[in-house]
Amino acid sequence: MDHPDQTTHFGFRDVALGDKQTLVNDVFHSVAQRYDLMNDLMSAGLHRVWKSVMINALNPPRNDRPFALLDVAGGTGDVVFRAAHAAGSGFQATVCDINSDMLAVGRERAGARHLEHQVSFVEGNAEALAFPDRSFDAYTIAFGIRNVPRIDLALGEAFRVLKPGSRFLCLEFSTVDVPGLDRLYDSFSFKVIPQLGKAVTGDADSYQYLVESIRKFPKPNAFAEMIRAAGFLRVSHQTLSGGIVALHSGWRL
């Protein structure tokens, strides 16, 4: 049980752990309608490449074999739409997100793509998923795990809902490891991204938080240890774009 005044780092600020989810919710309610546009602007379109790498690793069956994907914190549907395009007729996906505004965007986009029969949207918390044990063939989360207040609980839930032999894939911002690029990246992140957020969504503070939260996320080796602690085996990660992001993988065996 968390003590009421227990704190966690929220960006570069200390915020009561119980308040972090509320603050995260406020961020994404604010930016839901233009979230994917901001992703394009912030990453110069590279987020599309990174997500394609994740879908290639997921490698969903291209035939009618049943395959159930759970995508967490993916409310706008970007990841599952890519997966559905790569998969066969047996593909089914559930998007679980705590933010109703993001889910509304995803449902609208699923309808426009005629994917209502393959993709469902469920409001829920990554720390306490409302799905039975061993329900899914894969679990994906892209740029969402760092916003979960208790990451260890989310990883434990991921392990619980996966079938034996299934895979956990997490795409998340990481630590730039190319000399020179790290300084350019920091300058762009702290000086340009909040101003882009202000211009596009009218909300600089939300994007200041998003930048700060990246810097506070565990480094790849430390996060890999957290994945192992949740029970996953064959844990690995690969860095992309000079370490700007990392794709983490683990298997429930």
Q: Tens of pLDDT along 22-73? A: 555 555 655 666 667 767 777 778 999 999 999 999 999 999 999 999 999 9
Q: Give me the residues of the chain with pLDDT under 70, please.
A: 1-35, 38
Burial of 209 (0-12, 13-18, 19+ CB in 10 A): buried
What distance lies between CA 33 and its chain's CA centroid?
17
φ and ψ of 114, to 5 deg: 60, 45
φ and ψ of 96, to 5 deg: -115, 120
**Spatial separation of the C-alpha atoms in residues 141 and 127, rounded to whole Å:** 13
Confidence at residue 41, expressed as pLDDT on a 0 to 100 scale = 75
pTM: 0.84
**Spatial separation of the C-alpha atoms in residues 55 and 75, rounded to whole Å:** 17
**Spatial separation of the C-alpha atoms in residues 98 and 96, rounded to whole Å:** 7
What domains appear along the chain, each with residue ranges and CATH number? 16-175+218-252 (3.40.50.150)
**Phi-psi region at 112: left, alpha or beta (left = phi > 0; alpha = psi -120 to 50):** alpha
